[in-house]
Amino acid sequence: MTTGPLSGLSFVEMAGIGPAPFAAMVLADLGATGVRIESPVPHFPLLSAQFDITRRGRPALQLNLHEEADLATARDLIAGADLVIEGYRPGVMERLGLGPADCFARNPKLVFGRVTGWGQEGPFALRAGHDLDFIAAAGVLAHLGRRGQPPTPPQNLVADYGGGAMLLLVGVLAALWETQRSGMGQVVDAAMVDGSALLTSMMRSLAAQGMWSPDVGVNILDSGAPFYDVYATADGKWLAVACLEASFFAEFVKVCGLETSWLERQYDPSCWDQLRMVIAEVIATRTQDSWAGVFAEIDACVAPVLTMAQAPLHPQLAYRETFVTIDGQVQPAPAPRFSRTPARLKSD
């Protein structure tokens, strides 16, 4: 039996890569019933279907949308669904005869979720691009990195998943809520450049107050501050130190045996280079496990930097069962948690 807060919601996913399948996975994790329409000819061989976690929770139906019979099947599936999501370039669904106007004609309450890099309209709408391009244009990439170094690509987590998939999910769920009152569907245009820009709201707020420099690697949250950075341990691993507040920094100073005079100089940028050297020297005296043990019961905002293989073993993540094993593959469990309608993984 399907459970979860989205139980009873039906969706059709037009198979692609990046944010759309991730969003479809989350919908399925939370109880929605979906089907993935994919081409008989795979377009992105890098991800094997056997190991692609984002395919979980809904069956895949191979349809050649250039064949009238298969296209009719797709139209019927969409006509019976609450939601369709797709991540193609603008115009692709229209050329297939599956655009919003075509689908609304048969299902006026349909929510049509579209996620692209540049959006459905504008001078760049038809341009190709990937996560790195979108965060570059959105004013994100320029501020990621260390002082004196080139901007650092943050994997494809910001545009594809934070600014793309998550904003697509917010958009389609908001539209579904509105549909319950209006009885009318609508198009949700989720552009990764828009979502990435939205994620910079706090940094823009700080900049407006003169508290964020355009220079990279000199600010309090971008590795500029020595009390918000990572340090090498004695065994060549890493420790994350994030004691931003004075109370947490005081605990850190005490545990590390640093001079108490640092408490008065924590927020003085002229002292940061010296403080960084002092911290680095101390952290390098113990292994990562040793430091993790020392800080486990202390509120100093210090944590070991774990790999994907190590993360499931963290005591808090193990307790919450943040990761599950399916067919021998470790993967993230559904999130967030619900008190009355818990999400549960279901087979295809």
In CATH, 10-198 is 3.40.50.10540: yes
Model confidence, pTM? 0.94
Per-residue model confidence (pLDDT) at position 128: 95
Coil, helix or strand for 72?
Answer: helix
Catalytic residues, by residue number, are 130, 160
Give the pLDDT confidence of 281-304 residue by residue, as tens digits. 999 999 999 999 999 999 999 999
Domain at 228-304, CATH from 3.30.465.10, 3.40.50.720, 3.30.1540.10, 2.60.40.420: 3.30.1540.10
How does residue 320 score in pLDDT terms, banded at 50, 70 and 90?
very high
Q: How confident is the model at residue 48 (pLDDT cuts 50, 70, 90)?
A: confident
How confident is the model over 75-92, as pLDDT tens digits?
A: 999 999 999 999 999 999
Helical (H) or strand (E) element with 21: helix 19-29
**Hey, do 10-198 and 228-304 end up sharing a CATH topology, with the first three levels equal?**
no
% the chain with pLDDT above 70 = 97
Confidence (pLDDT) at 49: 82
% the chain with pLDDT above 90: 93
Residue 347: predicted pLDDT:
59
Q: What is the largest CA-CA distance in the chain?
A: 77
Mean pLDDT score of the chain:
95
- Average pLDDT (252-269) is 97
Instruction: For 199-210, give one letter per residue: b (16+ CB within 10 A) or e.
Output: bbeebeeeeeee
State mean pLDDT over 43-60: 84
Task: Identify whether 226 is preceded by a cis peptide bond (ω within 30 of 0).
Answer: no
User: Using one digit for the tens of pLDDT, what is the confidence trace for 148-183?
Assistant: 999 999 999 999 999 999 999 999 999 999 999 999
Cα angle at 167 between 165 and 170, to 5 degrees?
110
Long-range contacts of 174-181 (CB under 8 A, 24+ apart): 175/111, 175/113, 176/9, 176/82, 176/83, 176/111, 179/109, 179/111
> Where do the structural domains in the chain lie, given as residue ranges?
10-198, 228-304
* Separation of alpha carbons 111 and 297, rounded Å: 48
Pick from 265, 236, 226: nearest CA to 146? 226
Give the mean model confidence (pLDDT) for residues 258-279: 97
**pLDDT at position 345:** 85
